Amino acid sequence: MNWIKQFSLQNEVAVITGAVGGLGRELVKILYDAGANLVLADTDIASLQLFAEKIDPLGQRVLVQQCDVTNEQDILCLIQKANDHFKRIDVLVNCAGVLGPDALLFDLTVEDWDRIFAVNLKGSWLTSTHISQYMAAQHIDGRIINISSSLGLRAQLKRVAYASSKAAVEHLTRNLAMELVQYQIRVNCLAPGWMNTPMVEGILNGPDGKKWRAAIPMGRAAEPSELAGPLILLASKASSYMTGTVLRVDGGYAYCGIELPESVF
């Protein structure tokens, strides 16, 4: 058996929400390089079009669709467009998400909480529900990948809503996996930690950089290319016996306990 071929996404179709966000862009590039045809979804259609032209100048393998993942009609339109153009959907990556404000518990508003949960949790549930229904109706052995974070496991100051929403996404993954296994649809979760973007570089090299680097066992942020192996594993047939799994790619950050106020020490 050619073991390498099971990692190929050649001629498969992947839908990625939040496609022009910092993490989304990196995941899109990885899936494109792995051979997949792509349907990119985000709220910013102008950025989607520019990004699609950059990675696929000939316009043969990338389709864009404006989509708010909290809006059911937008999701149905996304599915219809993907079906009209590519005739199938094999992979869904739920990458749409919001971080919310850098706020302690008493400063967090109801509006902040509702917005974070609407996009991060409701959006993942709603998109997964409709696309898995489509996959089941088409008898496609689909793969759904939810995007969590180290904070789905680790507690961190000023991130109560975001961390709670990502913990909920991880449990959503397990429940979706249980329900969809009868349709040969697998659901797993990718949980990245610090990723080397300009914003993260500024933090890790800033005044508090030493503290943050010390909290990461590997002492550094991940390069975007270091997400390639885990993402392709979950998106491809190479993970055919995996469902309900949370795969952490964070240099050990999630397992370092919780962040406590300095006043505690």
Active site residues: 162
For residue 69, which of 79, 61, 82 has the smallest C-alpha distance?
79
Bridge-partner residues for 187, per DSSP? 144
* Beta strands 91-94; 143-147: pairing state: parallel
Burial of 112 (0-12, 13-18, 19+ CB in 10 A): middle
d(C-alpha 79, C-alpha 157), whole Å = 38
d(C-alpha 221, C-alpha 225), whole Å = 12
Compute φ and ψ for 115, nearest 5 degrees: -65, -45
For residue 156, which of 165, 145, 169 has the smallest C-alpha distance?
165
Residues 6+ apart with CB under 8 A from 193: 149, 150, 216, 221, 222, 248, 249, 250, 251, 253, 254
